[in-house]
Structures are given as C-alpha cells and as structure tokens.
Amino acid sequence: MDRISWDQYFMAQSHLLALRSTCTRLMVGATIVRDKRIIAGGYNGSVSGSTHCVDDGCYVIDGHCVRTVHAEANALLQCAKFGVPTDGADIYVTHFPCLQCCKQLIQSGIQTVFYAEDYHNHEYAIELFEEAGVKTKKVELEYLAVDTKYQEKLELVEKLFTELESPGSKADINELKSEAERLFSN
C-alpha cells in the first residue's frame, strides 16, 4: 500500500480546516508546517465572539467580505498568540492567497506557499512572492475526496424529492438539473 505524500497529507488537513469556515462566499483552510510537523491551522471566519457570515450574511464592501479574518491570517495569528515562530515554515492553503495574505506570509518568513486552487491570483502577489524568494506550488488534492459542498448537495436532494413527490409538481427540472450538475461536478 502506498502512503499518502506529505503534500497531499497537509493539503488534506487544509481542506478539513476549510470545513470549519463560517464565510458563505468561500471556504478556505490553511495549515502551517515546519519540518513535516503542523504548527498551526486556520480557516476564514469572523473575529472570535462576533457575528458570523453563516448567521447574518456576508458584510461585503468593494466586493470583499470584511467580516472575515482570512485562513492564512488566522493561522499566522495562532502562531503569534502562542509564541510559535513561522520563519522558514511552509503553508498549505486551499486557495491561492489574496494580496494582503501574500504580504503577511512574506513578512512572517514563510518560505513556500502550497495551494490547491487558483483564486483571483493577483499579479502583484505573484510578483511579491517572486521578489521575496517565496516559492509557490500548486498541489491539487488528489488522494482524498473532501466534499466541501455536502450540505448544499443534501439540501438540493431533499428539495428535489419534495418537489417530485408533491401532487401536480411544476418543478423546473432543468433548473434542478443545472444545480445538481454544478454541485456534483468536480
């Protein structure tokens, strides 16, 4: 039996962390690793004790949810809070970091950013990573199937059965089919 690679192991951890996200716009997880040991993890969510997007909707200004602390920042802040140095560490993130997170990762001494999915990869972030000597490497999660849309799928299937069971149903089959294709495709 082949063992899971380190990159897949740490990326799976980040996908697992993303399931704790409280932002409905995008679920992101981040795992900071040094010497093949996890030193911190984070997910995007509201400030501790504050209202969460899942409870009250996203607070969007200029196209960005300002209610959430990003996964990378939460992981870095966890290290700062508990006195764990990040210099020379790596980070595994479910999505390419935004520009602000890019700058924070550089300043904290992260040496390699592994990411699973491209997400509005900002040209300046890419330039800053290169300038700072921070390597970026795309590592798509292959080994494990982590379904971040399981709740949406369950709700759709329940809605589908309810619609089909109701007498004289006028369910828009094409709309339901389109939604199912979106949720069940890779």
Catalytic positions are 72
Residue 40: how many CB atoms within 10 A of its CB?
A: 22
Angle at which helix 173-184 crosses helix 150-165, to 10 degrees, equals 160
Per the CB < 8 A criterion, the answer to whether 47 and 22 are in contact is no
User: Following CA atoms 18, 34, 123, 95 in sequence, which dihedral angle do they give, to the nearest 10 degrees?
Assistant: -10
Q: Tell me the two tokens of residue 101.
A: 């997170």
Alpha-carbon distance of 120 to 97, in angstroms, equals 9
Alpha-carbon distance of 129 to 111, in angstroms, equals 9
Instruction: Tell me if residue 68 falls in helix, strand or coil.
Output: strand
